[in-house]
Amino acid sequence: MDLSTTARRSSVAVFWPIIGRLLPFVLIAAMVLVTPVPALAAPRTHYVEIEASQFAFQPGRIRIHQGDTLVITLSASDVVHGFYLEGYGISQRVEPGVSQQITITADRRGKFRYRCSVSCGALHPFMIGELIVGPNVPFWRAVGATIVALSGLLVHFRYKQNST
Ligand SMILES: [Cu+2]
C-alpha cells in the first residue's frame, strides 16, 4: 500500500463517521421542515387603523396568523360606513368623527372579506377588503430545525472532544 492510498484511506475513515453521526440530524431536520404540523399559536397582537371612505377601506388587505389578536380602530372619513367581516360574523357601524374599536381573535384560517355594511353610495357594493389569516407553521418549523441542528452540532463536538 503506497502513501497516497493510506492518506486517502485515513481521510475516508475520518470523513464517514462524521457523516454517519450527522446524517440522522440532517434527516430529522429535513423531516421537521417538511412534515405538516397543526398550527400552533405564537400569539401576537396587531393594531391596525382602518379608515373607511367612499368607496374603499384603507388598508384594503390585512395579513395575520392564526391565533393572533387583531385590534382594529375603525374610522369613517366622509359618511357613515359599516364594517362586516365574513366568516367571523363581526359587524360594526362607524360614523364620521367617532372611531370604533373592534377586537378579533383569529381562530379561523383562510381569507375573509370585510365589506361595508351601510349603504354609503353608488359604489358601496365594491367597498371590500381582505383579511388573510395564515397558518403559524413557518415559525415552529424554524424553531424545530434550529433545535435539531444545535443538537447535531453538540453531539459532533462532544464526539470530537472524546476522541482527542
Ligand atoms: Cu361604505
Residues with CB under 5 A from ligand 1 (ion): 81, 116, 120, 127
For 68-118, write each residue's pLDDT tens digit: 999 999 999 999 999 999 999 999 999 999 999 999 999 999 999 999 999
Give the integer Cα–Cα distance in Å for 50 and 52. Answer: 6
- Cis amide linkage into residue 25, ω under 30° from 0: no
Indicate whether 60 and 129 sit together in one domain. Answer: yes
CATH number for the domain spanning 101: value is 2.60.40.420
3-class DSSP state for residue 96? coil
Q: Are 58 and 126 in the same domain?
A: yes
**63 occurs within a structural domain:** yes
Summarised one tens digit per residue, pLDDT across range 135-148 is 876 666 777 777 88
Mean pLDDT of the chain: 85
Please give the tally of structural domains in the chain: 2
Give me ligand 1 centre to Cα 54, in Å.
6
Give distance in angstroms: CA of 73 to centre of ligand 1.
16
- The larger pLDDT score, comparing residue 78 to residue 19, is at 78
pTM: 0.62
The Å distance, Cα 50 to ligand 1 centre, comes to 12
> What's the 20 CA to ligand 1 centre distance in angstroms?
64
Give me the helices (H) in 61-134, please.
none
Give residue 145's domain range: 3-37+139-151
pLDDT at residue 39 is higher than 60? no
